[in-house]
Amino acid sequence: MIDYREIIRLKTAEHSNTSVASSTGNCRSLVADVWARAQKNNLFWPLPSTLTNEVLKQILYPERQDANQRMMPDYEYIHKELAKPGVTLTLLWSEYCSSCEQAGKIPYQHTQFNELYHSFAATYKATLRLKHKPGDQMQVDWVGDTLHIFDPVTEETTKAYIFVACLPCSMYGYAEAFPDMKTPSWLNGHIHAFEFFGGVPRITVPDNCKTSTIKNTKTEVILNQSYREMAEHYGTTIIPARPLAPRDKAAIEGSVRVIETWVLASLRSRKFFSFEELNIAIRDKMKEYNERPFQKRKGSRLSAFEEEEKEFLMPLPATPYESAVWSKATIQPDYLINIGDVKYSVPHDLIGKEVDIRATDKVIEVFYHQSRVASHVRVAYSPDPVYNLEHMPVNHRKYLQYDTDYYLEWAESIGDSTLVVTKGFLYGHKVEQHGYKSCSGLMKLADKYTPERLERACERALSYTPQPSIKNVTTILQNGQDKLSNEKPVRKNSGQYGITRGSSYYKGGDHL
């Protein structure tokens, strides 16, 4: 029988086909064929003892197996099924036996089935040891455990979440405490880490948290927009680790475990009353951690960083990145968006449309189809919405312009009588705003009956009362009394009419 194990051993040691053929007593073409099939099946020396020549023959030349020989299990399928809850090798062996029975082939016994699987798993789980290039990567993550900040008065506690960054080449680390794990804290952690390292790595490897990755599949990676914008500012490339693949960022996983012991555990008995105080303590502990000598090689993380990696980092940009949070919103009929406790206006023609919102500490920007349509200076607090008049419909824009000065200026342009009536509306109440409705009514009358008629109507109303109402002016206009002359009628002599009774009639006497 061909010694497949020996051929694989010698070829793994890079012997020529001729020398291997001479050593094993086979022809060179057979050696070349066996080695090609072994590479295709990822079989290299050393091989597990369970992979005998007979088993190797079945793996390398499955097409040569007779129908009556044993059927090889699909160990890749078995490996994936074992990851599911409740699935065991015994269950999968029984299913394998059933499939062999249906195919008319002989199954392996339970013991051999298990041995073959463990041999496959040992090869399947093999890991590639990567030598990281200086300045090439920075891996980031959150520490699972938390510390606490105590209120000095009430003794209430606030959780402190620890952000960690690590350069895999030198294992130089950075840590900082934040009040939450939201996007602003996540971005600030990166910004402060870049500043701490004094440069920017070419690649940043995060986990698949929502603050970094929206979608990560075999064919597509969609980053959080705020995270992508920050990466573009610093010139680094974001390559998230594969889901459920912690080996993709083994350096940061190891750093997290060390920091949990070196930093969190060592600070467990101390009380901190502010994040600034806590971060000072964390910096001191990280300084000790970075300067601590390596156990298996010379130097420390700090010396390795300064000697091997620092000069290979990309330079920091001229200005630091201003942390921005992106979000989406559908514009409601009031054409306002909520940012914190403040409302800001957007163009009213976007009602019902979805927009992208970029919020920084200083500016609020609104984008529609990647074009900026609105911008506001961010305010800390405002009980009223922050409006831009250009965003409002014409009728709403006019309404916002209506105030005491506006009404007085308008009334003065109509005439003196209208100005007097308007002042009566405004100053006849404890609060001027109570008279706005009546003033607005005067403006509507001017539009309906012309400003000239309104002026004459106000003049006639003032001749009746020093404080006319809007109803008085309206009635005069409706009845056309403003068109009548304001002169008093001349009293005529009543005696010229024969039917008029004289004064003697009312003094008594004979009326007949």
Written as tens digits, the pLDDT of the chain (512 aa) is 688 888 888 888 888 888 888 778 888 888 898 889 888 888 888 888 778 887 888 788 776 655 446 788 888 888 777 766 567 888 888 898 988 888 878 888 888 888 888 877 766 554 444 457 788 889 888 887 888 899 888 888 899 999 999 998 888 999 999 999 988 899 999 999 999 999 999 999 888 777 777 776 766 677 888 888 888 899 998 888 766 555 556 666 777 777 777 777 778 778 899 999 999 999 998 898 889 888 777 888 899 899 888 888 999 998 888 878 888 899 998 889 998 889 999 998 899 999 999 888 889 999 998 889 999 999 888 888 888 878 888 777 666 667 788 888 889 999 999 999 999 988 888 888 888 888 888 988 998 999 999 999 999 999 888 889 999 999 999 988 888 765 544 444 544 555 555 555 555 555 54
- What pTM was computed for the model? 0.51
| 351/346 Cα distance (integer angstroms) | 9
Specify the DSSP element, H or E, that contains 327. Answer: strand 325-330
Rounded Cα distance between 346 and 356, Å, is 12
The strand ranges marked E within 77-202 are 137-150, 157-167, 172-178
Which domains does the chain carry? Answer: 4-124 (no CATH), 137-312 (3.30.420.10), 325-391 (no CATH), 402-483 (no CATH)
DSSP state, residue 489 = P
- Tell how far CA 22 is from the center of its chain: 66
How many beta carbons lie within 10 A of that of residue 345, not counting itself?
22
**What are the helix (H) ranges across 225-298?**
225-234, 250-259, 275-291
Which of helix, strand or coil describes residue 67?
coil
Can you tell me the distance from the alpha carbon of 512 to that of 507, in angstroms, rounded to the nearest whole number? 14
| Beta pairing, strands 137-150 & 203-205 | parallel
